[in-house]
Amino acid sequence: MAIIFREQTKQFYLHTDNSSYIIELLEGKIPLHAYWGPRLDNMPPLTTWKSSNFMNFNALDIPTSAGGDFQCAGSLPLELPTYGAGDMRQPAFHAQYADGSRITKLEYVGHTITSGKPGLEGLPATYGGAGQVDTLELHLYDALQELSVYLQYSVFPAQDAVTRSVRVVNESDNLVRLLKVASANVDFYDMDADMLHLHGLWARERHVQRVPLTNTATQFGSLRGASSHLHNPFFALLSPDTTETTGDAYGFSLVYSGNFLAEAEKDAFNMVRASIGLGGLDFAWNLNSGDSFQSPEAVLVYAADGIGGMSRRYHRLYRDHLCRGRYQHKERPVLVNNWEATYFQFNEEKLLTIAEKAKALDIDMLVLDDGWFGKRNQDNCSLGDWYVNTEKLPGGLKGLGDKLNAMGMKFGLWFEPEMVSPDSDLYRAHPDWCLHVEGRSRSLSRSQLILDMSRADVQEYVINTVCGVLNSAPIAYVKWDMNRNFSEAGSALLPPEQQQEVAHRYMLGLYRVLETITSRHPEVLFESCAGGGGRYDPGMLYYMPQTWCSDDTDGVERLYIQYGTSMVYPAVSMGSHVSACPNHQVGRTTPFKMRGDVAMSGQFGYELDLSRLSEADLALAKEQVAFYKKYRHVVQWGDMYRLCSPFEEPFAAWEYVAADGNTALLCTYVVAGKPNVGRKRVKLQGLDATAEYKVETDGRVYSGAFLMQVGLAFDRNLDHLSNVTVLTKM
Ligand code: GLA
C-alpha cells in the first residue's frame, strides 16, 4: 500500500517510488501540508518543530489550539485553505451560505484508504487498478454549515504522481453557493521558485515561459470556454537552479478542457501557495440540499531529475493511465488530410487523386476535412447541417469510403459538432440552442455560434447526428474540431441564479457526449482539435488519444510548439503533418526533408496536395513514410529527452529511446541559418553507458558513455537543416 496513516503522529504518508507527499492533522483536526519532495519515510510532526531550532517560527507559527486561537493560520501550510477563518491568502475553496456568510471552517472527521482508484462522476480522470494506484479520501466537515468536503488523493507509485480532487456534499437544508473549488492546493514553505508555464495564441500554442516568482500573486487561466490557446492548464514550480536534467520540478496539470484558474502566491515569509482548478471571474455553482459537486482532477508530479524527468513521468502516466480505447497502445495510421491541399474546393475525383498518390507512398488513410456537408463552400455557413453535399460527393460518404477501402486506404472525417452557423437549417429550426443571452446580440466568430452543450436536447442531437454519420459510412477516424471561444455564455434553460454554471455545465455535457460517442464507436480513432491546439489538455485526451497540435504547420514554428507541448504531453498524442511551401501560415520555405523530420516527432501525416509534388519530393515522401513506420514505435512509446531548446538558441534537439532500450532516435534541427558557426555538439541522454551503439547513417560505433558525455556533432549550415539519426544498441 502506497498510503500509510500513522495514528500516533496523525500523519498520512503518500509514497511513490521516488517521492513522498505528507499530510498532517493539526491537533487531529486541520489537514496541514507537511511535505512534498524526494522520498521521506519519517518526518517529525510539524507541531514538534515549534520546540526546536529547526525553523524560523515567525514563518510557521503553529497555534497550540486549533479550535481556539486561530489567528496565526495566515502562515500555516494548509491542504485546503478556505476563506475567512484565519488564513489571509487566496483560498482554494470559497462558498457563500444561506445566512450570507462566506466563512468555511473544515475539520477532519474520518478517512478511508483503498486500493485502486474510483472514477470521477461525469469527468475525465486518470485510472488504474489495485497494485497500480491507491486512494486516500479525507472527510472534512463544517459543523455550522453542515458541509462535507472530501479531499481525494490517488497515488501512482511507478509514475511519481499524486492526483487530487475535491468532492463537496451539502448536508444542510439550505442552498450553498460554491464560488471557488481548486482541485489541488499545495503550500510550500520558504521556497524560491520559478514558474514554468505554456502560453500562446492561435498558431503559436504552448510556448515555454519560465519566470521567477516574486512576492506577489501570479494568476492565469481561461474564460474562453476551452482550456485555450492562451494558457495550457498546466504549470510547474522549479527550483531556480533546476535544469532539464537536474533539480526539483513540481508539476500541476489539470484534467479539464474548459475555464480554469491557476495561481501561485508568494507571501512575505516566502511561503508559496500554488493551486489549480475551478474558480475565478465567472464560476459559481448552486449546490442544493443533499447534492454533491465533484471538482476536476489535478495531477501532481514530482521529479528530482529536472524538467525532463517531470515530462517523462507525465508522458508515461497519460499514455498508460489516462488515454483509453482500442488505439491506446496501438501504433497509429499515417494519414493525409485534404485541408491545406484543397480547403473547400474539392470533389470526389480530386480526393481520389490524392488518395491514389497517398496509396503509392504507403500512407494508410485519407482524412476529409471541412466542407463535405450542407452547402459549405466557405467558412460562413452550414455548421449543424451534417448531411453530405452530393454535388461534391455524388456517392455520399459511403461511396467515397468504399472506394478508398477498395484501394486499401482508410477513410477519416472532420466534424465540428459543438457549433452552429446562423446560416443553417439547424439554427433556423432551433435558434435557442446556442449559447446566448436574451436581448443581446450574438457575437459571431468565424461566422459561427456555439451550441449550448449544457442542454440535454442538444447533447442528444449531437450524439444522434454524429453516430448517424458514423453508421452511414466506413469511417475509421474522426477529427473533432471546435473553432471558436465563448461569448454571451448564457443558457436558455437555466434560471438566472444558475447562469454562472454554464461554462462548467457545458463541459459536463460535452464530456457526456464524448463518452457516449467514443464508447459506441470503439473502432474509430478520434483526434481532437480546436482551431489547432486550443484544447490540447488531459481532459480531451481521456476521450481522444491524439490532438491536432497547431494550425501552424511550418517546420520551424512547429519546433517551438512541439517542444513546449512535450512538457506535459507525449509524442503519441501530437498530430503533426508535412504541409506545402511556402507555408500557408508564415510564408516560409523549408526543405521537404526538414518538414518531414519535424512531423515525425509526433503522429506523422501529410497536409498537402500530393498530386502536385515533384518526383523528387514524392520519392522523399515515400522514404519518410517507410522510415516512420519502421521507427514510429520509438517515438510513440519511447522515452523523450529534450537536449537543446529552440527557446534558448537557434538549434533544437531531442531524442526518443525505445521502451526496450534497443533503439534511439536523435532529432536535430537548425532553427535559423547563421554564417560561419562551428558544428553543434549534442550530448545524448537515457542510453546504457556500458553498451555500444551503432549510428545507422555511417555505421560508426560508440559507447553509450561516449554518446552521453562527449556527444555527436552536427553541421549548422543551410545544407544540413535537420537530421533524424538512428542509433541501434549492439
Ligand atoms: C480548424 C482546424 C483546421 C481545419 C479547419 C477547417 O482551423 O484546426 O485543421 O480543420 O478548422 O475549417
* Strand-pair partners of 714: 680
Q: How far is the CA of 369 from the centre of ligand 1 (A)?
A: 8
DSSP 717: S
Annotation says 481 is catalytic: yes
Say if ligand 1 is within 6 A of residue 481 CB. yes
Say if ligand 1 is within 6 A of residue 527 CB. no
Instruction: Give pLDDT tens digits for 475-524.
Output: 999 999 999 999 999 999 999 999 999 999 999 999 999 999 999 999 99
Q: Which of 337, 529, 544 to mutate to test the pocket of ligand 1 (most atoms within 8 A of CB)?
A: 529
User: Smallest Cα–Cα separation from 16: which of 42, 45, 36?
Assistant: 36
510-516-519-522 Cα dihedral, nearest 10 degrees: -70
Which residue among 134, 267, 370, 551 is the active-site one? Answer: 551
Q: Which of 367, 481, 485, 548 to mutate to test the pocket of ligand 1 (most atoms within 8 A of CB)?
A: 481
69 pLDDT exceeds 90? Answer: no
Say if ligand 1 is within 6 A of residue 202 CB. no
**Residue 554 grid coordinates:** 511550418
Q: Which of 204, 228, 229, 339 to mutate to test the pocket of ligand 1 (most atoms within 8 A of CB)?
A: 339
192 pLDDT exceeds 90? Answer: yes
Range in 218-227, 231-240, 308-317, 708-717 the model is least confident about: 708-717
CB 91 within 8 A of CB 82: yes
51 pLDDT exceeds 50? Answer: no
Q: How far is the CA of 532 from the centre of ligand 1 (A)?
A: 7
What atom in ligand 1 is closest to the CA of residue 529?
A: 8
Dist CA 213 CA 264 (whole Å): 8
Q: What is the DSSP string of 475-486?
A: --EEEE------
* Strand-pair partners of 300: 162, 252
Dist CA 554 CA 585 (whole Å): 7
Say if ligand 1 is within 6 A of residue 531 CB. yes
Instruction: Give pLDDT tens digits for 113-136.
Output: 999 999 999 999 999 999 999 999
Q: How many C-alpha atoms does 5 have within 13 Å on its Cβ side?
A: 15
Which are the contacts of 640, defined by CB distance < 8 A and separation ≥ 6?
308, 311, 312, 315, 566, 570, 571, 654, 655, 656
What atom in ligand 1 is closest to the CA of residue 551?
A: 8
Annotation says 370 is catalytic: no
Say if ligand 1 is within 6 A of residue 483 CB. yes
**Strand ordering across the sheet containing 701-703:** 639-644, 651-657, 663-670, 722-729, 692-695, 701-703
Say if ligand 1 is within 6 A of residue 414 CB. yes
pLDDT recorded at residue 76: 83
Q: Ligand 1, atom 7: nearest CA belongs to which residue?
A: 531
CB 118 within 8 A of CB 135: yes
Which residue among 385, 481, 597, 609 is the active-site one? Answer: 481
Dist CA 551 CA 720 (whole Å): 26
Dist CA 529 CA 414 (whole Å): 10
Beta pairing, strands 134-142 & 147-156: antiparallel
Q: How many C-alpha atoms does 607 have within 13 Å on its Cβ side?
A: 25
pLDDT recorded at residue 676: 84
42 pLDDT exceeds 60? Answer: yes
DSSP 348: H
User: Smallest Cα–Cα separation from 262: which of 313, 288, 223, 308?
Assistant: 223
